[in-house]
Structure 1
Amino acid sequence: MATGQRLQNKRILLIIGGGIAAYKALDLIRRLRERGATVRAVMTSAAQHFVTPLAVGALTADHVFADLFDRQDEQDVGHIRLARDCDLIAVVPATADLMAKLAHGHANDLASAVLLATTKPVLMAPAMNPAMWSHPATRRNRATLAGDGVYFIGPNKGEMAEKNEAGEGRMAEPLEIAAAVENLLDGGPKPLTGRRIIVTSGPTHEPIDPVRYIANRSSGKQGHAIAAALARLGAHVQLVSGPVTIPDPVGVRTTHVETARQMQSAVEALLPADAAVMVAAVADWRTDTESDQKIKKGAGGPPTLAMVENPDILAGIGKHARRPFLVVGFAAETQDVSQNAIAKLDRKGADFIVANDVSVASGINAGGVMGGARNRVKIVSRSGVEEWPEMDKAQVAERLAELIARRLETLTV
């Protein structure tokens, strides 16, 4: 479906919270309407200090709702009507206050009453100072809301409104939010509906002492994009992510881990599943012991670190008693890409391997596949090697998700 038609006849209730990012809600209204959506707006009293109801009403071409005790709007229990007469509620920006109210069931204004009364999907786009976002109370509230089924987009990292402030807390851009709304409301055919798929993403960090660890350059961009693409095709996706600096994908339940052993435990706890897509760049080794104190420099030179192998998560799933119907592995290689991937197939018990060249000689982003925006992969299976052209990681993810859907259909019919 064309971008301009994907939200045709969809009704979006936009709750605008009180923060400087509220100005972006004006652009979001335009983005949603140009995709065919009808937009109604609820504004908190704080939001009206940043943007005016007049501006919002002009863009929505509708009445702007603001007061829980408005005599005209509430004569027919208006907050219940607003909560039900929509296809999705988007909270933009989702302030720490709005998140806390919904997490704890407060309903002392129109916005929070609507959120508590709705049975529709809720998408929150958090925006706040990095210190507020990282506060344990906010983290707890986000976890509670995610557990209750609330979806999140962002926040991103970037410059804040405050002078010399930067970090995680910047609201997702209107185009990102519009895309998330499209993904959540896409009513087209979904070939993976009812399928349970596990995806791993990012690196693992293997501690040496309290300040040092063994890791690699994986950003998680490819794994997270694959998880999102599978979810868009209707799959129930469980993402197990190592330490990354990118937001969790929309529509995906994410478990955060640090080490390979934690990732292994998290993945095995999610079985059974229809498919497992092992994208994470798991550290092959760890130190046999972790120092509980920082290892200091000494006259004898660098310390000798005794190393042991980490569990092979892909092989463990590929040969598990509750093995998924389809197991997909990834191989990041710097030489003999196809040959190394072919060797992995039987050794890992995978159905196919997605192999890519991460060397400087690959020519992609000057060797920046790990952390970059583009990728060039080969699909290696027992029937041969299929080489895909270089493309954005999001495009790789979409194409791979479609391949997984086709393979699952043939394996389980």
Structure 2
Amino acid sequence: MPFNSPDRPAGSPLVVLADDLSGAAECAAVLPGCRRILLDPAAPVRPWETPVIDLDSRRRAPAGAARLVAQATGWHAATGARLLKKADSLLRGHLAAETSEFAAGASGLVVAPAVPAAGRTVRDGVVRLHGVPLHHTEAWRAEPGPGPVPRSVAEALGRADTTVLPLDQVRAGATHLGGSMRSALARGAPVVCDAETDADLDAVAEAVLRLPHTVRMVGAGGLTAALGRRCGPVAPRAAPGRAPAAPRPVVVVVGTAHPGAVAQIAQLTLHGARHSALSAESLLGPGGDGEHPTARARAVLKGAPVSVLSISGTRAVDPSAAPRLARALARSVAAVLPEDADLVLTGGETARRVLDELAVTTLLPVGQVHHGAVHCRTVDGREVVTRPGGYGGPDSLLRMVGALRTDRGRAVQEPNASDGGPR
């Protein structure tokens, strides 16, 4: 998917670097040219491909996350690609450390983290969740570490010299907005764009794509979708295929601590799903090897058309234990997962750990079930739907499972032999 720019008339390919898997999938679903989500940052990228690469940096230490971003940015900048760093729309993760490395060697940095479809907007350089400034919400309650919620995008970037382009400039037209961007970037500071609607992000995308490809972008799924709209609607990625003789079982793994997950699981159980909540104590028991919960997971999965595994919410869980819990839960799931089972995975950390345990290094995007819930396929044919932990209404999991149970007769276009790589 080439993107035209003044200095490269034939267009520059777009490469997206994401910090977690659910965010990577969210971006892939809205980019017409994306055919692969790469879970190995070192995997080769074909010329003019539009890959989304999960760096899996969200739960790493800041220095380690920064090194991953620096390495990947260096590789792909050298190819002449236009680069987008997918950041969390609520400014979580190592935004300052990663952005600093991502900006190295660029001729400018444009930042637009709004996702209007999820109620996440930016006004006066401040992220707002359903109209409430981020630092006045509880959106960071499950985040590890004592750090305060940033009061602005500039604070999250650690850059006091950031220039904010307010809504009146964003809505003044691409030509005017492009001029404002050029003037601000000439001062050497990052540019943060306000946005409250998809039309605002469309204007930002249009203006950035008129700038040299060496100007890099930091944004969330909203900006990625705006770039995708510049290339028209997402083309169908699936083709008719032979349906299996019988519906395949679906295993739902809920690793998120978001309160909405309880209601979502309840909707599934009302429709016959079998559910087991594994306690944090058992998952992090002696050695943290998940041996005790594995037996419970096996019992729940045995013979169930739809089964749900989650982490018990009966006791408060220390957010700093979340990575260890995700790994232990993933080990328990992988140890008993039937070969013919499809997966619904919520929470980027959980999704990535499960796929790591299954040695999956490439996902092939199929489409969206709803905003943020992305249907993919592994190279060996397993269906996977991922979703950020805090997305979706009470029927989200029900819809995700329904997509797999009704769409299993469809098959994505066969990848080239090189698409899969080692699994």
Instruction: Calculate the TM-score normalised by the size of structure 2.
Output: 0.25
Task: Calculate the TM-score normalised by the size of structure 1.
Answer: 0.25
Structure of greater relative contact order (alpha carbons < 8 Å, 6+ residues apart): 2
Bigger Rg, which one? 1
